[in-house]
Amino acid sequence: MEQTYEQLVRLLSQSQNMNYENGVETIIKPIPDADVTGDLDPRVLAVIKGYAASELETSFDLASARASMGWPNRDVTTMDIATDHVMIPSADGDIPARLYRPRTEETLPAILFFHGGGFFGGTLDTVENPCKLLAEKANALVVSVEYRLAPEHPFPAGLNDCYRALEWVHERAAELGVSRDDIAVAGDSAGGNLATACCLLDRSNETNMIRFQALIYPVVNLGSIPTDDYEWTLDRYEIKHHHDLIRGVVMALGDSEDLLNQIYLQGKAELTDPLVSPLFADDVNGLPPALIITAEYDYLRLEGEAYARKLARDGVPTRLIQYRGMDHAFMDKLGDFPQAEDCLIEIANGMKEMTR
């Protein structure tokens, strides 16, 4: 009998078989309604086949690429979450942000969320429902930041906006009704990059504002440059079915690396600058506890795993969760993919646990 979305979410929440690999707490979450391995989740497969049947752009067009991002996800919250639109003052121009808050008078933790989109796209609308659910599950104020995008605003403009938003929340903690000792950063893809880069800045500035970081399939090695502990190879992906299709899914982001370099950096930094590629930080001692979430069939999975190992080697409490059968950007499909809801629940649980 086919299981409902809610049943699949419950099944995933029970998948807590944890082991230690290279010092990293690691959880592998299976496809909740299939025993098969080495294949795409049936929901991912349906979406990918839909893409394959449509006209695909053969050359990069910025406006089209931006318009194609995101997914019409659903609000799955079970309580009323208040939404406020604010402008965060900054010397570089005010930064739009949205605040999502459970209706409570108690002092809350805060989570700054940075959306994905390759540093050149993505919107607050795409991540609104995920941020609302995160606010509910973590019982936290979630601050979704509309940082400046490349190519109009190359590195480090977007990062500066994210860090400024972090400062603002820390400075205004009492007014915002949050605990300045319980502030986290989170983000998906490029937003995960910006989140952990904020942690590096927080450490170098000795401001100690961040207590927890949650990185959802983060970009941490913009050029996929080999290191002593990382070399990208398709051999690391278990592919038993739909071979050509899955290879195409995995390689999709691999083709974009040089493009992101040109659009985001524009010669203003090296690919190995730790604030561009955190995997190249000399050390990550003293960074806040981390939760890294990866998708099995995502080009970025291997660098996310390498970053988890790097954090763990330097003494940072690190948990890695991999979702079997998933591809990049699955969080956007909240309400359709049960893994999207589960990963936000895991972030909420991780924050509660690691900031106790």
Mean pLDDT (the chain, rounded): 95
Average pLDDT on 279-291 reads 97
- In tens, the pLDDT along 15-47 reads 777 899 888 999 999 999 999 999 999 999 999
Comparison of pLDDT for 175 and 53, the residue scoring more: 175
Cα-flanking dihedrals φ and ψ of residue 88, to 5°? -90, 120
Asked if pLDDT for residue 56 goes beyond 50, the answer is: no
- In tens, the pLDDT along 109-160 reads 999 999 999 999 999 999 999 999 999 999 999 999 999 999 999 999 999 9
Say yes or no: domain 5-52+71-354 is CATH 3.40.50.1820.
yes
Average pLDDT on 102-112 reads 96
The contacts of residue 152 (CB under 8 Å, 6+ apart) are none
Q: Which DSSP symbol is given to 240?
A: -
Short-list 110, 307, 299, 282, CA closest to 196: 307
Supply the pTM of this predicted model: 0.97
Distance CA 150, CA 121 (A): 8
Distance CA 355, CA 184 (A): 9
Query: Judging by beta carbons within 10 Å of its beta carbon (0-12, 13-18, 19+), is residue 141 exposed, middle or buried?
Result: buried
- In tens, the pLDDT along 224-253 reads 999 999 999 999 999 999 999 999 999 988
Asked if pLDDT for residue 94 goes beyond 90, the answer is: yes
Tell me which residues are annotated as active site. Answer: 189
Domain positions in the chain: 5-52+71-354
Q: What was the pLDDT predicted at 220? A: 98
Residue-wise DSSP of 156-203: THHHHHHHHHHHHHHHTHHHHTEEEEEEEEEEETHHHHHHHHHHHHHH
Asked if pLDDT for residue 1 goes beyond 80, the answer is: no
Asked if pLDDT for residue 89 goes beyond 90, the answer is: yes
In the structure, what pLDDT confidence band is assigned to residue 261 with cuts at 50, 70 and 90?
confident
Asked if pLDDT for residue 52 goes beyond 70, the answer is: no
Asked if pLDDT for residue 55 goes beyond 50, the answer is: no
- In tens, the pLDDT along 179-226 reads 999 999 999 999 999 999 999 999 999 999 999 999 999 999 999 999
Of the chain, the percentage scoring pLDDT greater than 70 comes to: 96
Q: Spell out the alpha helix ranges (H) of 205-253.
A: 243-251
Query: Judging by beta carbons within 10 Å of its beta carbon (0-12, 13-18, 19+), is residue 270 exposed, middle or buried?
Result: middle
Distance CA 355, CA 289 (A): 9
